[in-house]
């Protein structure tokens, strides 16, 4: 919402300085976006004289002008205007100027091979009129001694731009803003003085509002003004319109706009001669069409509020008028409309048709239904003053009286909510200044709400009115109390937090990527999850919610590889989506690692990252988080985006149904499809939701400290087993032989090749044996030795290697 300080003062009697007014606006909730000089940026437009104009060598219709702009040397400007002749006084805009009409910034440019320094402007380009045929012609008498001077008078008038929240339609008019400021004590609201206009005869065009279901119009006021001469607006009106960054069109249109900006009272002017017999405000029929003032043809749905005549739709009430009945410069008779449309109806129609107009914006927020006559009077007065004409009596059709709503306000609520006290008299004054009718009864105020405040419906709204006018600085700052209702983090959140830092501590960079992704990448990682489309994606490359974190990780990995990085470790902890309903999501850690370990290292041989790198990271992370490594179980099943032979899944226990993690090499096909070029790419995923709560606290994890000081012995074994026999099974067989004696088992070699049958491999392991009761004798050791060999051979079909 823009307005000038001068305009504000037409409604507000105040001695306050501009800055005080500006500060007050922000303090009462009318946020000032900018406060600038009206003429800022217009200093580069100079009065200039064409000294010489000659034909452009390469273009018939262009001339090269030498222009005197008050400097020692003239400047060369290429100009296409037919009236650009020697000795003409005109307006020159130098390079860097911004043309008011189209906000284009000028620069030095070559036009058909001749350099032009700036531009000579038409009235249209300067937003002075619609004249665009030639450049501005200034009268010699007035301007001959002003060459080189600023064309626009340096205007000290300042424009305020407010950001008005959707609850305050009343402040979409200058008067409403003045009312708020007056209530806040920086001046007095002036009464609108209406000249006593002469009204003659009845409004001859019949108006009716039909009783359709959900009729969107409740009041339709109109008056007929006959015999007008529509013309350019007078200077004062043009300036007002221009000051708000709009363009003057004609007196009739400018006046309706002016009344709208001044009083937030939208009006519509019809060319009365183009109306077929009568005005009918009704619901549209499905399929009806009309051409709107934005020159678009709209096809209507049923039940939209339209203004129509005998021939069809004239316009969409409160949203946009139609071309068929629009006023033009030669319009003689005008029908002026001032109506009330129900916000819900406006919003529904404009959304369906995707129309956004100034009128729609206002009606949707709620126009004062009691401002019908004021709007007609103000506009009729101005039209007859500027364009002449005979004004008819006002015709007001209405189906709802729109009486003021009432509420009871218990003053104690104010202190209860804000924490400070304002005395009753002050409360009454504030509310009265805002337009409420107040009567006091004991502890309650009986309030009649002004009709321009559709946002106020209950006592809490009254608290807000009082506190914002009184000033938020009066609210005390109370020390926060530290009472805790429950633990800051629950178990799952603690786990999230722990795992996040645990993974990072293994050299991974945490990233945060979109929850959405490219469906083309997503399908590589989707498995059997449902694709979840976004109806209105920001771009076609971000059209689905991600089913896996690897979608975005691989995408950004590629970007970093393209930047020249090779050894990259990335992870993200966040949601993946399994369904389109709230809650159908899981929290996952996804991590990937590319390239080599120890690349270009002077003392360690480099190697490509492999499945055991990520297996280590997964297992270590889980162990750090407090899960028992001894009960983990690894299977060689994993989603299809992993290398089928070099990946696995981790279960917290052999009996668990769902794995808590996957790890492995990423499938080479995926690298190919995504055009990822790296020596190796491995990754892992941890499903936090499957990890489940720790039932034990740290103090419970610390069980009795038991240890043995008896001598321990180590024995090495090598078993020849089938090639696909799992090392995990071998360890399990051995460890379950005697849990008391067998303390640890370490695999130190895997061998295939010479001396080993082709379908076999040799697993060499070291077993530590120790008793907690005695020092084992050679015979004891021999016994367990034999037991290990015989058990393994029986259970696994292995052979001890001799």
Partner 1 sequence: MSDIKKIKDDYLNKLNNDLNIESLNQIKTELFGKNGKISNSFKKLGSLPNDERKKFASDLNSIKNELQDKINSKLQEIETKEINSKLENEKVDVTLPEREFSRGKIHPVSQVIDEISSIFSEIGFSVEEGPDIENEHYNFTALNTPDNHPARDMHDTFYIDNNKELLLRTHTSPVQVRTMLNGKPPFKIIAPGRTYRSDSDQTHSPMFHQVEGLHIDKDINMGHLKGCLNYFIKSFFEVDKIKMRFRPSHFPFTEPSAEVDIGYEIKDGKIVIGEGDKWLEILGCGMVHPNVLKNVKVNPDKYQGYAFGIGIDRLGMLKYGINDLRAFFETDYRWLNHFGFDPLDVPSNYRGLSR
Stretch that binds partner 1, among 56-64, 324-332, 474-482, 642-650 (CB under 8 A): 474-482
User: d(Cα 409, Cα 403) in Å, to the nearest integer?
Assistant: 19
Q: Which residue matches tokens 């940026």?
A: 41
542 binds partner 1 (CB under 8 A): yes
761 binds partner 1 (CB under 8 A): no
3-class SS at 407?
A: strand
When binding is defined by CB under 8 A, the residue of 57, 113, 507, 644 that contacts partner 1 is 507
Judged by CB under 8 A, the chain residues 307 through 346 that form the site for partner 1 are 343-344
Interface pattern 509-538 for partner 1 (x via CB under 8 A): xxxxxxxx---------------xxxxxxx
**Cβ proximity of 308 and 350 under 8 Å:** no
Judged by CB under 8 A, the chain residues 377 through 436 that form the site for partner 1 are 416-420
CA 43 remoteness from chain centre:
36
110 binds partner 1 (CB under 8 A): no
**Cβ proximity of 118 and 92 under 8 Å:** yes
When binding is defined by CB under 8 A, the residue of 110, 191, 198, 559 that contacts partner 1 is 559
Kindly state the number of chain residues that form the binding site for partner 1, as judged by CB under 8 A: 97
748 binds partner 1 (CB under 8 A): no
- Least distance to partner 1, CB of residue 586, Å: 11
User: d(Cα 799, Cα 790) in Å, to the nearest integer?
Assistant: 9
Q: How many residues does the chain have?
A: 802
**Beta pairing, strands 312-316 & 516-517:** unpaired
- Least distance to partner 1, CB of residue 693, Å: 16
User: d(Cα 587, Cα 573) in Å, to the nearest integer?
Assistant: 7
When binding is defined by CB under 8 A, the residue of 145, 297, 487, 777 that contacts partner 1 is 487
- Least distance to partner 1, CB of residue 569, Å: 7
- Least distance to partner 1, CB of residue 669, Å: 23
612 binds partner 1 (CB under 8 A): no
Residue among 290 and 409 whose Cβ is closer to partner 1: 409
Residue among 559 and 629 whose Cβ is closer to partner 1: 559
Residue among 488 and 779 whose Cβ is closer to partner 1: 488
Q: Which residue matches tokens 């899944």?
A: 649
Interface pattern 146-165 for partner 1 (x via CB under 8 A): -------------------x
Judged by CB under 8 A, the chain residues 426 through 445 that form the site for partner 1 are none
Residue among 460 and 800 whose Cβ is closer to partner 1: 460
Residue among 473 and 700 whose Cβ is closer to partner 1: 473
**Of 120, 116, 45, nearest in space to 78 by CA:** 116
When binding is defined by CB under 8 A, the residue of 105, 484, 605, 739 that contacts partner 1 is 484
213 binds partner 1 (CB under 8 A): no
**Of 30, 268, 7, 16, nearest in space to 158 by CA:** 7
**Cβ proximity of 81 and 120 under 8 Å:** yes
User: d(Cα 169, Cα 177) in Å, to the nearest integer?
Assistant: 10
Residue among 307 and 462 whose Cβ is closer to partner 1: 462
User: d(Cα 596, Cα 602) in Å, to the nearest integer?
Assistant: 14
- Least distance to partner 1, CB of residue 688, Å: 12
560 binds partner 1 (CB under 8 A): yes
Strands (E), 227-317: 268-271, 278-283, 289-291, 297-299, 305-309, 312-316
3-class SS at 29?
A: coil
Cα dihedral sign, 545-549-551-557? positive
Q: Where are the alpha helices (DSSP H) in 267-369?
A: 343-353, 358-365
When binding is defined by CB under 8 A, the residue of 212, 464, 531, 610 that contacts partner 1 is 464
When binding is defined by CB under 8 A, the residue of 196, 479, 540, 630 that contacts partner 1 is 479
User: d(Cα 243, Cα 257) in Å, to the nearest integer?
Assistant: 13
Rg value, the chain, Cα: 41
Residue among 508 and 662 whose Cβ is closer to partner 1: 508
- Least distance to partner 1, CB of residue 575, Å: 5
**Of 118, 126, 131, 116, nearest in space to 63 by CA:** 116
**Of 58, 149, 155, 63, nearest in space to 112 by CA:** 58
Residue among 59 and 529 whose Cβ is closer to partner 1: 529
Cα dihedral sign, 334-339-345-350? positive
User: d(Cα 148, Cα 666) in Å, to the nearest integer?
Assistant: 72
User: d(Cα 406, Cα 414) in Å, to the nearest integer?
Assistant: 18
Residue among 633 and 687 whose Cβ is closer to partner 1: 687
540 binds partner 1 (CB under 8 A): no
- Least distance to partner 1, CB of residue 27, Å: 7
Residue among 395 and 572 whose Cβ is closer to partner 1: 572
710 binds partner 1 (CB under 8 A): no
586 binds partner 1 (CB under 8 A): no
Interface pattern 21-60 for partner 1 (x via CB under 8 A): -----xxxx-x-----------------------------
585 binds partner 1 (CB under 8 A): yes
- Least distance to partner 1, CB of residue 573, Å: 8
- Least distance to partner 1, CB of residue 461, Å: 6
When binding is defined by CB under 8 A, the residue of 178, 391, 521, 570 that contacts partner 1 is 570
- Least distance to partner 1, CB of residue 221, Å: 24
User: d(Cα 433, Cα 449) in Å, to the nearest integer?
Assistant: 12
User: d(Cα 124, Cα 785) in Å, to the nearest integer?
Assistant: 104
**Cβ proximity of 678 and 529 under 8 Å:** no
User: d(Cα 74, Cα 51) in Å, to the nearest integer?
Assistant: 8
**Beta pairing, strands 188-189 & 12-13:** antiparallel
778 binds partner 1 (CB under 8 A): no
Residue among 402 and 596 whose Cβ is closer to partner 1: 596
């Amino acid at each position: 919402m823009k307005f000038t300080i001068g305009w504000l003062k037409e409604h507000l009697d105040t001695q306050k300085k501009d800055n005080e007014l500006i500060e007050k606006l922000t303090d009462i909730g009318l946020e000032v976006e900018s406060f600038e000089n009206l003429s800022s940026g217009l200093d580069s437009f100079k009065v200039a004289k064409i000294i010489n104009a000659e034909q452009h060598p390469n273009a018939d219709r262009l001339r090269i002008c030498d222009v005197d702009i008050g400097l020692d040397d003239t400047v060369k400007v290429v100009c296409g205007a037919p009236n650009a002749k020697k000795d003409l006084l005109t307006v020159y805009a130098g390079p860097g100027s911004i043309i008011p009409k189209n906000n284009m910034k000028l620069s030095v440019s070559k036009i058909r091979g001749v350099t032009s320094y700036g531009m000579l402007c038409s009235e249209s380009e300067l937003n002075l009129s619609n004249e665009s045929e030639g450049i501005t012609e200034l009268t010699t008498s007035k301007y001959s001694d002003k060459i080189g001077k600023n064309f626009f008078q340096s205007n000290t008038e300042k424009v305020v731009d407010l950001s008005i929240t959707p609850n305050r339609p009343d402040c979409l008019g200058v008067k409403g803003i003045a009312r708020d400021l007056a209530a806040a004590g920086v001046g007095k609201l002036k009464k609108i003085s209406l000249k006593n206009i002469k009204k003659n005869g009845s409004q001859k065009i019949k108006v009716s509002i039909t009783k359709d279901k959900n009729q969107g119009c409740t009041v339709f006021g109109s008056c007929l003004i006959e015999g007008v001469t529509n013309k350019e607006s007078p200077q004062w009106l043009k300036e007002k319109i221009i000051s708000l960054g709009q363009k003057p069109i004609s007196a009739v249109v400018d006046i309706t706009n002016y009344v709208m900006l001044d009083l937030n009272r939208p009006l519509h002017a019809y060319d009365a001669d183009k109306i077929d017999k009568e005005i009918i405000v009704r619901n549209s029929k499905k399929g009806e069409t009309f051409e709107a003032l934005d020159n678009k043809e709209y096809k209507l749905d049923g039940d939209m509020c339209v203004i129509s005549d005998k021939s069809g739709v004239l316009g969409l009430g409160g949203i946009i008028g139609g071309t068929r009945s629009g006023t033009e410069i030669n319009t003689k008779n005008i029908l002026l409309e001032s109506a009330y449309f129900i916000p819900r109806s406006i919003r529904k129609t404009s959304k369906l048709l995707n129309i956004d107009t100034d009128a729609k914006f206002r009606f949707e927020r709620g126009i004062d239904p009691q401002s019908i006559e004021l709007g007609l009077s103000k506009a009729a007065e101005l039209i007859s003053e500027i364009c002449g004409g005979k004004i008819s009596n006002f015709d007001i059709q209405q189906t709802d009286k729109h009486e003021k709503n009432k509420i009871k306000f218990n003053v104690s609520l104010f202190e209860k909510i804000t924490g400070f006290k304002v005395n009753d008299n002050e409360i009454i004054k504030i509310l009265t200044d805002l337009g409420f009718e107040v009567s006091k009864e004991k502890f309650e105020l009986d309030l009649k709400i002004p009709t321009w405040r559709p946002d106020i419906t209950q006592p809490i709204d009254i608290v807000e009115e009082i506190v914002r006018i009184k000033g938020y600085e009066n609210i005390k700052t109370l020390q926060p109390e530290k009472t805790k209702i429950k633990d800051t983090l629950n178990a799952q959140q603690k786990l999230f937090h722990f795992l996040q830092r645990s993974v990072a501590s293994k050299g991974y960079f945490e990233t945060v990527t979109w929850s959405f992704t490219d469906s083309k990448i997503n399908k590589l990682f989707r498995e059997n999850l449902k694709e979840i489309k976004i109806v209105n994606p920001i771009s076609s490359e971000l059209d689905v919610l991600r089913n896996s974190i690897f979608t975005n990780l691989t995408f950004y990995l590629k970007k970093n590889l393209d930047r020249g990085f090779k050894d990259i470790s990335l992870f993200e902890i966040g949601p993946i989506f399994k369904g389109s309903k709230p809650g159908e999501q899981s929290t996952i850690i996804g991590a990937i690692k590319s390239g080599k370990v120890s690349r270009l290292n002077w003392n360690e041989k480099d190697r490509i990252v492999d499945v055991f790198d990520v297996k280590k990271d997964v297992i270590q992370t889980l162990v750090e988080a407090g899960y028992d490594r001894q009960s983990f179980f690894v299977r060689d099943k994993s989603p299809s985006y992993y290398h089928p032979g070099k990946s696995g899944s981790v279960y917290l226990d052999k009996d668990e149904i769902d794995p808590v993690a996957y790890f492995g090499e990423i499938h080479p096909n995926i690298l190919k499809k995504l055009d990822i070029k790296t020596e190796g790419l491995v990754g892992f995923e941890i499903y936090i939701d499957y990890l489940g709560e720790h039932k034990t606290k740290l103090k419970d994890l610390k069980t009795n400290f038991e240890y043995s000081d008896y001598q321990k012995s180590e024995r090495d074994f090598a078993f020849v087993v089938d090639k696909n026999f799992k090392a995990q099974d071998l360890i399990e067989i051995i460890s379950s032989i005697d849990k008391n004696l067998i303390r640890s088992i370490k695999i130190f070699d895997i061998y295939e090749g010479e001396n080993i049958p082709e379908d076999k491999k040799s697993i060499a392991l070291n077993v530590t044996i120790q008793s907690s009761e005695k020092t084992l004798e050679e015979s004891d050791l021999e016994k367990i030795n034999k037991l290990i060999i015989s058990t393994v051979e029986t259970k696994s079909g292995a052979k001890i290697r001799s």
